[in-house]
């Protein structure tokens, strides 16, 4: 009756109070030095991708610089609401100074399935093939995008470069597969290359559980609207309370995500990982596009990728189109301020130098068709320790392996004979895993104001660790001459565990002099130059997980991340060995379980670890050349 009554009685007519909001607001751009528009570009399967196009005012015959991203094109192109192009671009993922100085047309696109684009999101969408039955992938989407851009942006000169960091650095690698003819330059910066071997998901099989928050926010909604919540200010407590990465993921709803389910189904290096490793994919094709790979020496996220790709494609580089830069940066640091990282100072703004002396001439030469512009060196490598840039013809150049032996008396000795019977021993207790940095470990994040100094943890002072009884420490005598290494150190352990599985973490460390007059707080500083983890169950093969024989000395050999460092006279060389790196990596229960993601609390047991004195680190030693301005 009430409803009927409402229908019969006409609503009372009030005098209008018109809305003050126009039906459509046309934003003026008076005084702007650019124009910006968003378009939906249609891919070959009909899916439309949101693409932001920014054209500098007055641009003519200008090259296009493209970034494809899962991290929201709209926000990446509006770091400030400003009439000034450099102001809106400055920030993550854009070398804004170079882009503006070069007069580039800037294009940033949401990948399929994210933010403003249509379609389905698949993490690091594999190439069409065994892992992707559809005819579309990042290679085809980039091809179709470039084809549209060069035909629909009248101000362009028809030449396109693609640049990006991290995931946005993986996408330029995908663009190199069946590249569009207008693609004239690729700049993969700190790219994701092999998520299992050494980039974002695992390192030699140990799971990087600290990325759970990223996975959750990145894959469970199109616009990253579902947020990971903090239950503890100290991440160490949160992960300890959960027990295993699998349990925490369950508690946070991650099992609803297809990507999480794939991670759990593929804990080992099976075809799922091998078939999407970009270094393996690109190794099978010729190099046809000038490519500048960018590596950060303290990259906490993708420290494996750039050099892995360089090694894979350089043999196919008949026209010397491949370049490599190694800078003293954290992840993405090449676009920031590069005069220091944490407590470590480099004497100049290394990132600004690289952008002006390497990135800009590379882009100008290939995108402006300015073949007169000087080509950049094959390799531009910052040498930490001496704080000098080195221009090299190849990487790592003429290094030779010299053994740094883990000897008796907690000594690290260059080249000494082995003492196979003796060992150092420690107890690895999963209830007290070694923190990867001093606690409290604020939730994963970049906000220094919140103490979230994720970007600089790799240069933390390692004294906290070396003082622990569950960290075996070996240190050389004070050096009387410089020791230079260029390349990847290789850990060769002979070790036993009383358990039936174990993780081995090896860290190569530069120990500063006991006193540093010019900077007293650096006295005795222990700076990690290279370090990584290896999950023992894969010692017979990354695709062959097996229990370890308890209390039996077994050999382990695995690469450590690329270094380009001089241990100066007065310094010492240190090696630390431990069996947890928490909560960066999930704990190894140290007893065999089929899948550690599903380990139960009772599986986690203490283990007695022995590092035998026939263990050593292969150091890629280089004869020191006296520095002269000419070698810059
Ligand atoms: N490679 C970075 C990342 C990926 C996955 C987890 C955490 C970090 C990145 O694309 O930012």
Order across the sheet with 48-56: list the strands.
34-42, 48-56, 105-110, 62-69, 156-165, 183-189, 291-296, 322-327, 379-383, 388-392
pLDDT for 1 equals 56
**Taking 60 as the threshold, does the pLDDT of residue 538 lie above it?**
yes
pLDDT for 374 equals 77
**Taking 60 as the threshold, does the pLDDT of residue 627 lie above it?**
no
- Please give the distance, rounded to the nearest whole angstrom, from the Cα atom of residue 192 to the centre of ligand 1: 8
pLDDT for 450 equals 81
301 Cβ closer than 6 Å to some ligand 1 atom? yes
Which token pair is 145? 């995008």
User: Confidence band (pLDDT; 50, 70, 90) for 84?
Assistant: very high
Lowest mean pLDDT among 229-233, 378-382, 503-507: 229-233
DSSP state of 77: T
Nearest CA to ligand 1 atom 9: 166
The H or E element spanning position 215 is: helix 212-219
194 Cβ closer than 6 Å to some ligand 1 atom? no
- Please give the distance, rounded to the nearest whole angstrom, from the Cα atom of residue 280 to the centre of ligand 1: 20
User: Confidence band (pLDDT; 50, 70, 90) for 2?
Assistant: low
pLDDT for 3 equals 61
Is residue 149 a contact partner of residue 66, using CB atoms and an 8 Å limit?
A: yes
Question: What is the β-pairing status of strands 156-165 and 62-69?
Answer: parallel
pLDDT for 93 equals 60
pLDDT digits (tens, 9 = 90+) for 431-457: 999 999 999 998 887 888 888 889 999
pLDDT digits (tens, 9 = 90+) for 267-293: 999 999 999 999 999 999 999 999 999
488 Cβ closer than 6 Å to some ligand 1 atom? no
pLDDT digits (tens, 9 = 90+) for 361-399: 999 999 998 777 778 999 999 999 999 999 999 999 889
192 Cβ closer than 6 Å to some ligand 1 atom? yes
pLDDT for 371 equals 74
Bigger pLDDT: 225 or 448? 225
Q: How many CB atoms lie within 10 A of CB 162?
A: 31
* 3-state secondary structure string across 150-203: HHHCCCEEEEEEEEEECHHHHHHHHHCCCCCCCEEEEEEECCCCCCCCCCCCEE
- Please give the distance, rounded to the nearest whole angstrom, from the Cα atom of residue 211 to the centre of ligand 1: 8
User: Confidence band (pLDDT; 50, 70, 90) for 10?
Assistant: confident
- Please give the distance, rounded to the nearest whole angstrom, from the Cα atom of residue 201 to the centre of ligand 1: 9
How far is residue 462's CA from residue 107's CA, in Å, rounded to a whole number? 42
- Please give the distance, rounded to the nearest whole angstrom, from the Cα atom of residue 454 to the centre of ligand 1: 12
Buried b (16+ CB within 10 A) or exposed e, 348-362: eebbbbbbebbbbbb
pLDDT for 629 equals 39
Which token pair is 127? 């190439």
What is the number of the ligand 1 atom nearest to the C-alpha of 165?
10
3-state secondary structure of 219: helix
User: Confidence band (pLDDT; 50, 70, 90) for 631?
Assistant: very low
Nearest CA to ligand 1 atom 1: 166
User: Confidence band (pLDDT; 50, 70, 90) for 630?
Assistant: very low
Q: 312: Cβ–Cβ under 8 A, 6 or more apart, which residues?
A: 279, 280, 282, 283
Lowest mean pLDDT among 77-91, 244-258, 555-569: 77-91
Q: 181: Cβ–Cβ under 8 A, 6 or more apart, which residues?
A: none
**Taking 60 as the threshold, does the pLDDT of residue 101 lie above it?**
yes
What is the number of the ligand 1 atom nearest to the C-alpha of 215?
6
For 254-265, what is the mean pLDDT? 98
- Please give the distance, rounded to the nearest whole angstrom, from the Cα atom of residue 197 to the centre of ligand 1: 15
How far is residue 631's CA from residue 351's CA, in Å, rounded to a whole number? 19
Closest CA to 78 of 67, 68, 69, 91: 91
**Taking 70 as the threshold, does the pLDDT of residue 250 lie above it?**
yes
**Taking 50 as the threshold, does the pLDDT of residue 349 lie above it?**
yes
DSSP string, 130-155: TTB-SS--HHHHHHHHHHHHHHH-TT
Arithmetic mean of pLDDT over the chain = 95
Beta-bridged to residue 203, according to DSSP, are 206
**Taking 90 as the threshold, does the pLDDT of residue 620 lie above it?**
yes
Closest CA to 567 of 506, 523, 619, 520: 619
How far is residue 608's CA from residue 622's CA, in Å, rounded to a whole number? 37
- Please give the distance, rounded to the nearest whole angstrom, from the Cα atom of residue 623 to the centre of ligand 1: 36
User: Above pLDDT 70, what percent of the chain?
Assistant: 97
- Please give the distance, rounded to the nearest whole angstrom, from the Cα atom of residue 77 to the centre of ligand 1: 19
pLDDT for 85 equals 94
211 Cβ closer than 6 Å to some ligand 1 atom? yes
170 Cβ closer than 6 Å to some ligand 1 atom? no
User: Confidence band (pLDDT; 50, 70, 90) for 5?
Assistant: low
**Taking 80 as the threshold, does the pLDDT of residue 91 lie above it?**
no
What is the number of the ligand 1 atom nearest to the C-alpha of 192?
1
pLDDT digits (tens, 9 = 90+) for 155-203: 999 999 999 999 999 999 999 999 999 999 999 999 999 999 999 999 9
For 80-101, what is the mean pLDDT? 88
Nearest CA to ligand 1 atom 5: 200
What is the number of the ligand 1 atom nearest to the C-alpha of 167?
10
- Please give the distance, rounded to the nearest whole angstrom, from the Cα atom of residue 200 to the centre of ligand 1: 6
The H or E element spanning position 241 is: helix 235-242
What Å distances lie between residue 493 and 3, 135, 589, 604, 610, CA to CA? Answer: 81, 45, 20, 23, 10
- Please give the distance, rounded to the nearest whole angstrom, from the Cα atom of residue 199 to the centre of ligand 1: 9
ipTM of the complex: 0.97
pLDDT for 332 equals 96
166 Cβ closer than 6 Å to some ligand 1 atom? yes
How far is residue 365's CA from residue 357's CA, in Å, rounded to a whole number? 12
User: Above pLDDT 90, what percent of the chain?
Assistant: 90
User: Confidence band (pLDDT; 50, 70, 90) for 632?
Assistant: very low
């Amino acid at each position: 009756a009430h409803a009927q009554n409402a229908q019969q009685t006409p609503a009372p007519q009030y005098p209008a109070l018109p809305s003050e909001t126009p039906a459509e607001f046309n934003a003026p751009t008076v005084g702007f030095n650019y124009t910006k528009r968003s378009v939906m570009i249609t891919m070959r399967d009909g899916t439309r991708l949101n693409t932001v196009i920014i054209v500098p005012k007055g641009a003519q015959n200008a090259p296009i610089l493209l970034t494809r991203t899962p991290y929201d094109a709209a926000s990446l192109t509006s770091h400030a609401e400003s009439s000034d192009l450099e102001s809106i671009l400055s920030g993550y993922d854009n070398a804004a100074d170079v882009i503006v100085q070069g007069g580039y047309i800037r294009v940033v696109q949401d990948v399929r399935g994210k933010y403003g684009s249509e379609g389905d999101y698949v993490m690091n969408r594999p190439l069409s093939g065994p892992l992707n039955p559809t005819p579309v992938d990042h290679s085809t989407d980039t091809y179709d995008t470039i084809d549209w851009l060069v035909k629909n942006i009248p101000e362009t000169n028809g030449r396109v470069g693609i640049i990006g960091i991290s995931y946005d650095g993986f996408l330029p690698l995908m663009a190199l597969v069946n590249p569009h003819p207008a693609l004239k330059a690729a700049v993969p910066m700190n790219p994701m290359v092999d998520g299992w071997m050494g980039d974002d998901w695992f390192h030699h099989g140990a799971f990087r559980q600290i990325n759970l928050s990223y996975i959750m926010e990145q894959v469970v909604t199109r616009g990253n609207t579902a947020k990971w919540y903090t239950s503890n200010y100290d991440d160490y407590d949160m992960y300890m309370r959960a027990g295993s990465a699998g349990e925490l993921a369950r508690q946070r709803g991650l099992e609803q995500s297809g990507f999480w389910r794939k991670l759990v189904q593929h804990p080992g290096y099976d075809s799922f990982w091998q078939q999407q490793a970009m270094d393996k994919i690109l190794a099978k094709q010729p190099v046809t596009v000038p490519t500048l790979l960018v590596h950060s020496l303290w990259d906490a996220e993708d420290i494996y990728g750039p050099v892995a790709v360089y090694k894979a494609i350089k043999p196919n580089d008949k026209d010397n189109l491949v370049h490599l830069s190694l800078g003293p940066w954290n992840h993405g640091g090449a676009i920031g301020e590069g005069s220091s990282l944490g407590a470590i100072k480099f004497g100049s703004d290394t990132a600004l130098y690289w952008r002006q002396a390497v990135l800009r001439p590379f882009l100008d030469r290939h995108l402006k068709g300015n073949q007169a512009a000087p080509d950049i060196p094959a390799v531009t490598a910052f040498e930490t320790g001496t704080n000098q840039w080195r221009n090299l013809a190849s990487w790592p150049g003429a290094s030779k392996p010299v053994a740094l032996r883990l000897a008796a008396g907690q000594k690290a000795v260059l080249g000494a004979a082995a003492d196979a019977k003796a060992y150092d021993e420690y107890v690895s207790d999963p209830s007290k895993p070694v923190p990867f940095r001093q606690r409290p470990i604020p939730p994963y994040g970049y906000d220094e104001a919140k103490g979230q100094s994720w970007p600089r943890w790799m240069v933390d002072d390692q004294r906290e660790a070396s003082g622990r009884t569950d960290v075996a420490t070996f240190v050389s005598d004070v050096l009387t001459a410089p020791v230079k290494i260029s390349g990847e150190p290789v850990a060769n352990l002979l070790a036993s565990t009383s358990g039936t599985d174990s993780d081995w973490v090896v860290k190569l460390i530069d120990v500063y002099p006991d006193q540093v007059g010019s900077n007293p707080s650096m006295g005795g500083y222990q700076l990690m130059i290279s370090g990584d983890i290896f999950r023992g169950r894969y010692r017979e093969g990354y695709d062959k997980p097996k229990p370890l024989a308890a209390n039996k000395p077994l050999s382990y050999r695995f690469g450590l991340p690329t270094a380009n460092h001089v241990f100066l006279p007065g310094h010492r060389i240190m090696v630390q060995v431990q069996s947890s790196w928490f909560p960066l990596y999930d704990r190894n229960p140290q007893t065999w379980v089929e899948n550690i993601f599903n380990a139960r609390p009772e599986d986690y047991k203490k283990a007695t670890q022995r590092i035998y004195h026939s263990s050593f680190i292969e150091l890629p030693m280089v004869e020191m050349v006296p520095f002269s301005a000419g070698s810059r």
